[in-house]
Amino acid sequence: MKWEGQEQSDKVEDRRGATPTACGTGQTAMGPFYCPGDRKVYIDLAFFGTLSQRLGAPGDFAQAYVIAHEVGHHVQNLMGVTDKVDAARPRQSETQRNAVSVRVELQADCLAGVWAHHSQQGKGWLEQGDIEEALNAASQIGDDTLQSRGQGRIVPDSFTHGSSEQRVGWFRRGLDSGSVGQCNTFEARL
């Protein structure tokens, strides 16, 4: 299968379990991630079963949200956000690094919303319930929800991705505005 704009030499590989990346070995337990070293998004397809069954976020647009979020990290890399964040990390405490990580992740959620906005305007392909699937996915993978489910308590200082409310709010902000300029989580009051 060839996608529009895909060069003949591009390959889509289906590797489950673990795969080498420029950021080290990517493993299923890590979940989807973006590696700035090779500018690739890695998603073990088994994650979508986990998203649907274990995390309670079924649907094709829940999956699209996850992919768009990871592509949002690539956009951050292109905008220079990744380099700035990486340069500051050595001078930060673990709590500070976590707080910055939350801002990075929320910005990627907002960028995913911007993509959804423009995708709908350009293609009109969203169906009834699609946005709700994405919002539910954002809610189900908030740090507070995952911590509560996994350890029975919530530790805000250890958040690395943001609360469910924050993730939903920033995705919605990008979706409603369609503007990358509305995604500046680094200057926003969280």
- What is the per-residue pLDDT for 18? 81
pTM score: 0.89
Alpha carbon distances (Å) from 160 to 59, 120, 167, 190: 25, 30, 11, 13
Looking at residues 53-66, what average pLDDT do you find? 97
Task: Compute the distance between CA of residue 178 and CA of residue 112 in angstroms, rounded to an integer.
Answer: 10
Q: How confident is the model at residue 16 (pLDDT cuts 50, 70, 90)?
A: low
Among 24, 28, 71, smallest CA distance to 49 is for 28
Residue 145 has pLDDT above 50, yes or no: yes
Residue 103 neighbours by CB under 8 Å, 6+ apart: 185, 186, 190
**Which residue would you say has higher pLDDT here, 180 or 11?**
180
CB burial string 115-132: b at 16+ within 10 A, e below: bbbeeeeeeeeeeeebbe
pLDDT over 80 at 109, yes or no: yes
- pLDDT of 1 higher than 60: no
Q: What is the per-residue pLDDT across 77-97, written as a single tens digit (0 to 9) for each?
A: 999 999 999 999 999 999 999
Q: What is the pLDDT of residue 15?
A: 57
